[in-house]
Amino acid sequence: MGILYLVATPIGNLEDISPRALKVLREALLIAAEDTRRTGKLLERFGVENKLTSYWEHNKQKKLDFILDHLSRGDVALVSDAGTPGINDPGYELVRAALAASFDVLPVPGPSAPVAALSVSGLPTDSFLYLGYLPHKSTERRNFIGQVANLTYTLIFLETPHRIVDALVDILAVLGDRNICAAREMTKLHEEYWRGTVSGAIRHFKSKEPRGEFTLVVEGRKKVESEKWDKNELLKAAKKGLQAGKSAKELSADLAEQSGWNKKEVYALINSQK
């Protein structure tokens, strides 16, 4: 039985393809590509000759059996039109079908537009939420953005050049004037990374015709420091903790995290009530 390889391909600069990716593409029994014309140019550039079939949104169901049949006889390489397959394309459905049929599925890691944009955005990278393309209509777009407005994660969206300004206007209306990085044409000749506030991005792209696909990295909601408890509230919690059998040392550490008071203050207050 073959292995389904998810092969990441360049998002712009063809030199970003890895030696391992080229090896898998050369040796696979079949290459399933979201865009055969684009993949064909990539293969030609690196002298890879192999059987190529299309697998995209409008033929994904018809092609499943064809691809699974090839997997029963050898390895299959899945590629998207650019970047990592399975992210924002029908690749995940092929992955599910392959796993259900007990085939191994392995990644050949490489370029990914959302991660590339996030890494250079200057915004927090410890937790983020990738949400793909924004809805086309403004009302639906605002409702969609509103669902994540209170999340503290860095948010990542995709957008087209002819909708970018309208999308930014809706982001400003729902999320406020947060920090943002608008990345376009990444790794290509005219790549651009615009960093600043959402309102600044609107002015920039109104004055300069937007071109190329955009990846928007938007600051999450800032964490609001909790209000410091008043003394009576702290005493009430301390009394309850002591009655539960907690020591003053243990209780002062717990309450310091919750109350906004420092541990020494809490400890002194607890001891004063004994």
21 contacts 108 by C-beta, under 8 angstroms: yes
Q: Quick one: which of 211, 189, 261 has its CA closest to 14?
A: 189
Q: Which two tokens stand for residue 220?
A: 């999450």
First to last CA, the chain: 73
For residue 120, give every residue at least 6 positions away whose Cβ sits within 8 Å of its Cβ, in sequence order, or none.
181, 183, 193
Contact yes or no for 94/60 (Cβ under 8 A): yes
Distance (Å, whole) CA 121 – CA 11 = 17
The pTM of this model reads 0.79
- The label of the residue with tokens 């915004």 reads 123
Q: What's the pLDDT at 168?
A: 98
One-letter amino acid of 187: T
Per-residue pLDDT of the chain (274 residues; tens, 9 = 90+): 899 999 999 999 999 999 999 999 999 999 999 999 999 999 999 999 999 999 998 888 889 999 999 999 999 999 999 999 999 888 999 999 999 999 999 999 999 999 999 999 999 999 999 999 999 999 999 999 999 999 999 999 999 999 999 999 999 999 999 999 999 999 999 999 999 999 999 999 999 989 999 999 999 998 765 567 888 888 888 888 888 888 888 888 888 878 888 888 888 888 887 6
**The token pair that represents 165 in the structure block:** 């300004």
Backbone φ and ψ for 235, nearest 5 degrees, come out as -60, -40
- State residue 219's pLDDT score: 97
The three state secondary structure string of 90-131 is CHHHHHHHHHHCCCEEEEECCCCHHHHHHHHCCCCCCCEEEE
> Cα(89)–Cα(57) distance, rounded to whole angstroms?
7
